Structures are given as C-alpha cells and as structure tokens.
Chains A and B, each alone.
Chain A
C-alpha cells in the first residue's frame, strides 16, 4: 500500500468518491512517515473539495496546496504557482486530486512538461453506481476523456463503488466485476478496492487489488456529529 510513484494523480468521475479516496490516501501516506503534500487541482466542483479539510491536513503535518486565491468558497479556476513545488522538490510525496471530468482534468495538462520527465502513477477511481460509468463502454469513454484532457495516462484502477451510507458488499462486488472487465480491456491493474472500515470483515478473500479501508471525512452538514 502507498507504494506508488512519488507523484500520484487521483482522477475519476465527479461524485465517484475520488476526493474521499484522495483524502484517506493522503492521511495514510503521511501516517506511514512520508513528507506529504496534497494538491487540490479541482477547479470544477464548488463544494466537497479536499481543501476544505485544510486544518485537519495541517494538524497531520501535510502540506495543502490549492488555489492561489484564499477562502473556501471561490469558484475562480486559479492554479497556484506553489503547485510547482511538488514537481521541483523531490523530497515530497505528492497526491494530486484532479477535478472529475475532461474539463477538470485539463488543469493537470498544464503540468505535462513535468509529468513527461518524471514517472507518475495515475489512479482512476471507478464507482459502478454512477450513471456514466456503470458499464464497460461508459468507463472506458470516461478514462479516455480524462486522459485526453489531462494529456496523461491512467496507470491503475481503484474500485470505489459505493452508495454513501447505504453501501453493501454487493455494491463493492458489482464494481469489482466492472473493474475486472475494464482491467482486461485496457490492460490496467486493479490497485485498490476501497471499502468503509465497518464493512472490511465482510469482503471475500483473494480480490484483485489491495483492500483499502477508509473513514468518511467529506461529510454533509447533518452528518457532522462531533458538532453536537
């Protein structure tokens, strides 16, 4: 786990749970002792972005790089010059959370001169419960669109099939079947199978890909119970 190349790019359909995975991955990477930075490249979504967890990242010693315009609520697609840091300073282990469609991925294309020179891993987060990526055709189209927008290549798949709080093992297995089809068609490995921590014990053995338990950080306002 976390053995990806220094630059990890997380992509996927918006609403696939890409940011939730990116946040959990970043916390895990930092907990394993790496000098970690998360780059929020999401210029598409106005809500539920990784940057809103900035205090939590900082508490864990993780550097957060997002827009050059401060404040959570801007929808100005401004990329910070600070982003270049993670390409130049190779002591960083970096996670790039990329906006969830072809347009969102275009922001990444801006950095192709770095990514052409340094090997990276680009994980495509797949949720088979999303209408646009629920069959082989849709998933491949989405992968190709994100690759075209970002000018980079997906290197592995992440099965993140869920239904928020209503997720069952059947959802995850449905997503696993789709990931296996995509994996066969495109020759991409399934790297992780994402599962809420409470469901881990119910997962069958010998799945393709490592089981990646997550906690939910991207909460809706009424789910934030520690406010009570």
Chain B
C-alpha cells in the first residue's frame, strides 16, 4: 500500500479498527478529539459501536463491560480525562481484562493546558489508580510507530489479559506524517474462555470481578499478576539504542522529545562531542537493561533524561544506572517544547562538570 498522509490521532483510530477494535467509548477532550470523531464516523461503517459516554468514568466502565465480553475495545482521552478513568483502569487491571487506552498527554496538573507534555509518566507507569498493578505503556515517536504499535497493542492486551496504554504527547496526536498501514506479525493468542458471552446452558457462568474478600486470596491474586508482569518484562520490553557506541553522553528520551534529541545529537557530533540516545518505546516495562549496559560502558560519562515534564522518567533512569554514572535532567513543561539548542547547551554544561 502506498503511503498516505495521516494525523496522529486519526491514524491511531484507524489502526485500532484494522486491529479488530469494534467498540469505542469515550468523552471529548483536546488534544485527542480526532480519535472519537474518527471512530464515530468509521465504526458504524464496520458494524461496530461508537458511544460518547456521559463522562470519562462512564466510558472506562463501558470499556470494562465490553472487554469482559471478550470484544476488542478502546477508549481515549487526554491527561485530566485519564485521571477520571483511573478507578476503572485499576478495576480492569484487577479483573485481568484486555483493552487499549490512549492518552494524548497535555500540560498539567489540573486542567493545565492543551499543548503537548509528558508529565503523565508517573501516572501511566507507577499507578494512577490504586493497588499493585501495571499497564503496558507504549510511547510512539512517530505517527508510523503509533500505527504499528496500536495494532500490536490489541494483541499484547489479549495475550496477557492486561490493559495497554498508548501514550503520546499532544504533538504525536496532532501532527501530520506519511504512514503505511502494514499488517503486524501474528501472535498465537489464547482463546477467551473467560469471556461473559452466555453459557448456552452448557457450563457454569464466567464471573469477571476484582473483589477478593479473603486477604490470602487477594494476595494470591497479586502474586499471580506479578508473575505475569515478570513475563511481560522479559518478553515485551522495547527500546531503540541510537549512536550509543563510544558515546560520552547518553540521552534518555521518548516520543516527540526523542525526535528533538536526535537533532541535538547531530549538532553535538558536528562540534566533536559524541552523544547517543536510549529511546524507551515501552515506558513500562522500562528498558532497564539498556540503561544498565550504557552505565557499564567505559565511554559514557553521564546520562541526561530529557522530558517534557519537571523530571519523572529520570527516576527510572537513576534506578537502572544504579549510581554507576551521574544522571542529569533537562526538561520543559506545561506545553513548552525543548529546543535542540537548549539540549546541546545542557549536554556541554554536564560534560564540563562530569569528570
């Protein structure tokens, strides 16, 4: 298929449809509105259902119901809307249901603003809702990657019975880029024997629930979840290493920020400074091993976590580098976007002081 020009948000929506998503429940919020709008047009054409719920809380619980029946279901929102969905996300994680949740992140906290941000990293990777649970969190850096990974996200969700979050900053949702829709590699997926699709009078009813009154049972359930999370960490961690060999300075950046950091790396190279980048594609599981390997590399003097936040992913970079190399931070927030020039300046400052 020839390349077409797609806006990030509508491309994510079309990718979901290509992956077999036929149910979308959501509530509008900028800068992700093209997703529900596109779904409202396309899903009826595919025999699916688009429903604008009365609130984010309603939407996520509709996703809970749809996922419980074994369907491929999606919702999307932007930061404040994801906060509203947090309770439902925890329930879905607790009930081990597959679904895809898109967060096109804007500036916060509170209402914040509608320009791009990455300040929902903690919310996405460290909880957001209550309890011991994880989401697979995928952070595309281009519209093409958003399309490929959204399709794969539905397979990941079904394989592990886990909610998968596609997390893009507003720029990923709003920008136009050439895209080719390609089929994703087939996974062998388990049959959804747990789905509430009617017993036909032939079996005991399936019950979908996240309530465990007996504490031992609740602990057992958590242990089971964490075995699954270990398996996901082993199988699904995604990362791109760029120019790491011989690098003095290693940036860690994802999404739009990673695109900007690439320019900074080119500029540094022209000034004779060798810089590289670790680009997490999955934010959870975080590519700990890639950071660890770079920390053990003799040429590397320091890391710089570059984010559109006040510094959230930097915690994971520090954990992974485990004190072996200093970890610095450069960021802009609230909808401001770092410039390559500022990143270059910061790298020079760090190298000047990193002995």
Contact = CB atoms under 8 A, between A and B. Distances in A.
A163 B5 contact: yes
Nearest to B335: A73
A45 B267 CA distance: 32
Interface stretch (A3-11, A89-97, A128-136, A203-211): A128-136
A15 B256 CA distance: 19
Interface in A1-40: 14-15
A128 B328 CA distance: 46
Contacts of A72: 115
B270 to A, nearest CB: 9
Interface stretch (B57-65, B147-155, B337-345): B337-345
A129 B174 contact: no
A164 B340 contact: no
Contacts of A131: 4, 6, 10, 14
B5 A48 contact: no
A118 interface: no
Interface in A200-228: 220-222, 224-225, 227-228
Nearest to A71: B113
A162 B178 CA distance: 9
Given A75-B114, A131-B4, A163-B178, A228 B344 contact: yes
A47 interface: yes
B233 interface: no
A228 B262 contact: no
Contacts of B267: 228
Which label, helix, strand, loop or mixed, suits the secondary structure of the A interface?
Answer: loop
A163 B175 CA distance: 12
B263 A46 contact: no
Contact of B5 (A73, A129, A220): A129
Given A73-B114, A130-B4, A46 B30 contact: yes
Interface size class of B (residues with CB under 8 A): 20 to 34
B337 A221 contact: yes
Contacts of B176: 15, 48, 164
A127 interface: yes
Interface string A58-79: 0000000000000011110000
B74 to A, nearest CB: 19
A45 B5 contact: no
Given A14-B7, A131-B4, A227 B339 contact: yes
Interface range for A: 20 to 34
B6 A15 contact: yes
A161 to B, nearest CB: 9
Nearest to B41: A132
Contacts of B259: 220-222
Contacts of A113: none
B7 A15 contact: yes
B3 interface: yes
Given A46-B30, A166-B178, A228-B341, A220 B3 contact: no
A217 to B, nearest CB: 14
B337 A46 contact: no
A134 B178 CA distance: 14
Nearest to A45: B174
B174 A73 contact: no
B340 A228 contact: yes
Contacts of B248: none
Contacts of B105: none
A164 B177 contact: yes
Given A164-B177, A221-B259, A227 B7 contact: no
Contact of A162 (B5, B256, B339): B5
A127 B6 CA distance: 11
B165 interface: no
B186 to A, nearest CB: 25
A164 B339 contact: no
Contacts of A46: 30-31, 114-115, 170, 174
Given A46-B174, A164-B177, A221-B260, A130 B5 contact: yes
Contacts of B256: 221-222
A129 B4 CA distance: 5
Contact of A48 (B6, B174, B178, B339): B174
Contacts of B10: 131
Interface in B181-215: none
Counting chain B CB atoms within 10 Å of each CB, the highest count among A73, A127, A130 belongs to: A73
A98 B115 CA distance: 21
A48 to B, nearest CB: 7
B164 interface: no
Interface of B: 3-7, 10, 14, 30-31, 113-116, 170-171, 174-178, 256, 259-260, 262-263, 267, 335, 337, 339-341, 344
11 contacts: A14-B7, A15-B7, A48-B176, A127-B5, A131-B14, A164-B176, A221-B256, A221-B259, A222-B256, A224-B339, A228-B341
